[in-house]
Structure 1
């Protein structure tokens, strides 16, 4: 039996989709794939179940000044 992690990586490799593998929680391996206008987060848990989140965007290029606004909005949300 092949691990879900390797099955997912094989699918991404065969499709030519670039990805990063990360570890944010002790019980998961996280795979982040980026497509044009879309980002996919795939979490594979210790018990082999998989959770997938998709995020869509319009690929607009923003100027550097927007970063301060994004961070300020994030900090404001976490302080509430």
Structure 2
């Protein structure tokens, strides 16, 4: 039996499971799998490419809660440069 090195996606998933980190898998591109990891105070989005390389973005926040519905539009539309 050959000892085959697993794809980086499988290594990442094992590490997350070992650490009991909540995560979800999504597919938005045909050459990547997006692994979204929930952390205290933020989240980590890791793109795992078909060729095995990884790219990631870290989002940090203070977990404060806002209840003003107008803020949702403000947050969504500011990203595309429109005012509503």
Q: Could you state the TM-score of these two structures normalised by the residue count of structure 1?
A: 0.87
- 5+ residue gaps, structure 2: none
Aligned residue-pair number: 77
> Equivalents in 2 of 1:64, 1:5: separation in Å?
39
**Counterpart position of 1:73:** 78
> Equivalents in 1 of 2:29, 2:68: separation in Å?
31
Instruction: Please identify, of 60-69 and 18-27, the stretch whose mean Cα deviation from structure 2 is larger.
Output: 60-69
Distance 1:75 1:53, change over 3 A: closer
1:56 equivalent in alignment to 2:60: yes
Superposed structure 1 runs of 4+ greater than 3 Å apart:
none
Q: Could you state the TM-score of these two structures normalised by the residue count of structure 2?
A: 0.83
User: Which of the pair is proportionally richer in helix?
Assistant: 1
Q: Which has the larger radius of gyration?
A: 2
